[in-house]
Amino acid sequence: MKRRTGSSAASGSGTALSKYQRLESLGLWRDTGDGQRREVVVLMGEATLVLSDPRSGSALSHWSLPAVRRLNPGQQPAVFSPGEDSPESVEIDDETMLAALKMVNSAVRADSPHPGRLRFALIGGAVVGFLGLVTLVLPRILISHTVAVVPPSKQVEIGMRALDDVIRLTGAPCSGELGLPALAALSDRVFGEANTPILYVLPEGLSRPAHLPGGVILLPGSLIDQDAPDALAGAALTEGIKAGLADPMRAILDHAGLKPTFDLLVSGELPAAALEGFGEAFIREEHDLPPLPRLQSAFEAAQVPLTPYANWLAASGAISATEAAELVAADPFQGRISSPLLPDDDWIALQSVCNG
């Protein structure tokens, strides 16, 4: 089943995910568990999947994107359902649509939002422990407390808002339709298929890898100009390690300040103005690396060589030759692994991601 239209071009407005709106592919739909499969057009909207008859164009079913679940992770063709208890299902094997579903769903439904429950939990925490903190005027403790209670779905939302402020300065992430599935495949290879980060390649304006809340990793375009995907994979893995060592929500709330942080804690919403100017500070932030033992063990576990990333860091001026030599010496694979991180065709496709 091939995608019918190429309507995934990036939009200049809205969030960084707006390029996936109006994406189409073909699918095989069942209205019940034992029903006959029927060919349909699957159309991705801003918040819904619309399944329609390919001949008449009439809509057969509407699914909410936050509720869509994959029923057979890791298997092909991918089968999706509009909810845990729904009898409907649709098979999709279009790689662009699958990559878009994975990336969009990571952003809009990492955890299904529950505004009432969220508000109750946050207000409850405020009543129990936070009024005293505000009275004592301890903003660092306020930020630490808020970081600890913000749920994954809200972190994803805030991370995407922060990304929008960053790309205001750098330009939109690369969105070549052949490269995006290969980029998602590399993320799966490095991190595994559970809680895989979303990787974005920025063609310019970013000199170092970076990360944002909600599993967003930003990678400079120079990383795809290498002979192999090893340096790109190493950069993504390093940012994943750093995100696990220090919650990136803290940098956002440090920038936002005391009152917006308190608003987030009490109401569950970060004011719209809280992220203004975040992009400038984010781009100026200095590059640092995790402790060498942590880096070494993570690269060994992920079966990713450390040397190519160390060489790229040295060539870009991010670290000194002495620091690069220390990383190379710590490489558990001495620059080589038993099999390529990506097939050659996928790597070539990934290198075209900034040409779309």
Ranges of each domain in the chain: 18-94, 116-355
Query: What is the C-alpha separation between 249 and 99, in angstroms, rounded?
Result: 26
Contact predicate 145/130, CB 8 Å: yes
Distance separating alpha carbons of residues 191 and 43, to the nearest angstrom: 29
What is the average pLDDT across 84-104? 83
Instruction: Flag whether pLDDT at 11 surpasses 60.
Output: no
Q: Is the pLDDT of residue 10 over 70?
A: no
Give 109 or 60, the one with higher predicted confidence. 60
Q: What is the pLDDT of residue 119?
A: 63
User: Long-range contacts: 123-129, Cβ < 8 Å, 24+?
Assistant: 123/266, 125/149, 125/265, 126/265, 126/266
Contact 44, 107 (CB under 8 A): no
Helices (H), the chain: 95-108, 115-125, 131-135, 139-149, 152-170, 179-191, 230-245, 249-256, 258-267, 278-284, 292-302, 307-316, 321-330, 344-351
- Domain covering 18-94 in this structure, CATH number: 2.30.29.30
Q: Which residues contact 313 (CB under 8 A, 6 or more apart)?
A: 287, 319, 323, 324, 327
- pLDDT band with cut points at 50, 70 and 90 for residue 116: low
Instruction: Say if residue 151's pLDDT is above 50.
Output: yes
Q: What is the pLDDT of residue 320?
A: 92
Least confident of 119-133, 183-197, 233-247, 327-341: 119-133
Looking at per-residue pLDDT, the higher value among 15 and 266 belongs to 266
pTM above 0.85, yes or no: no
Please list, in sequence order, all residues whose beta carbon lies within 8 angstroms of the beta carbon of residue 281, skipping any fewer than 6 positions away: 255
Cβ-count burial of 333 within 10 angstroms (0-12 exposed, 13-18 middle, 19+ buried)?
Answer: middle
User: Across-strand partners of 50?
Assistant: 43, 62
Question: What's 267's DSSP letter?
Answer: H
9 — pLDDT class (breaks 50, 70, 90): very low
Evaluate whether 40 touches 113 at the Cβ level (below 8 Å). no
C-beta of residue 235 within 8 angstroms of C-beta of residue 209: yes
Answer yes or no: are the C-beta atoms of 255 and 161 closer than 8 Å: no
